Amino acid sequence: MMDTEGQRIFAALDETPASEAVARTALALAERDKGRLLFGHVADALPREATMGDLEALRRSAKERLERNLANVLKDARESKGIASFELAVEAGPAVRTVVESLMLPFEPDLVVCGRCRTARLRCRVATGVGAALLRAAPCNVLVVDASRSGRRA
């Protein structure tokens, strides 16, 4: 069993149904030993000629959707007495670079939790996109949550 006492746990969220499983898993790990928890999301659907105002509007819109779609788990995290701290951070920009450089690395996590798995031809579970980038760049262990298997971890 992984020791997470006081650890910094970064959960990479997207706007798929897997995000709730990722968030719940990260929250449970943080609560187990009074860890610090950061939920991070990157909104990245912008044309190249986007302005700073466009980025801010995209960030706000994405945060509002996450607040609505993950309302229950966010409420649980904010009200939890079992974690040392909680933050929801939403940035706008190129997803892979932004999640790694602006969210994950500055937080200095001891554990990264992500989802977005798919079945490969070899019948194993693999992380794709942002999850794959986190696996490559994380300075720590990465837990890939497989939401398609009834909330069990991969």
**Could you tell me the mean pLDDT of each successive run of 10 residues in the chain, 154 residues long?**
72 89 96 95 71 79 94 97 96 86 94 72 50 83 77 43
Question: The pTM is what?
Answer: 0.82
8-13, strands of its sheet edge to edge: 85-92, 36-43, 8-13, 111-114, 141-144
pLDDT at residue 119, rounded to an integer: 47
50 burial via Cβ count (<10 Å: 0-12, 13-18, 19+) = middle
Q: How far apart are CA 24 and CA 32, in angstroms?
A: 12
| Short-list 51, 145, 46, 150, CA closest to 98 | 46
Q: In sequence order, what are the residues at sequence separation of 6 or more whose Cβ sits closer than 8 angstroms to the Cβ of residue 121?
A: none
Q: Are strands 125-127 and 117-119 parallel, antiparallel or unpaired?
A: antiparallel
Q: How far apart are CA 140 and CA 110, in angstroms?
A: 5
Mention the CATH class of domain 8-149.
alpha beta
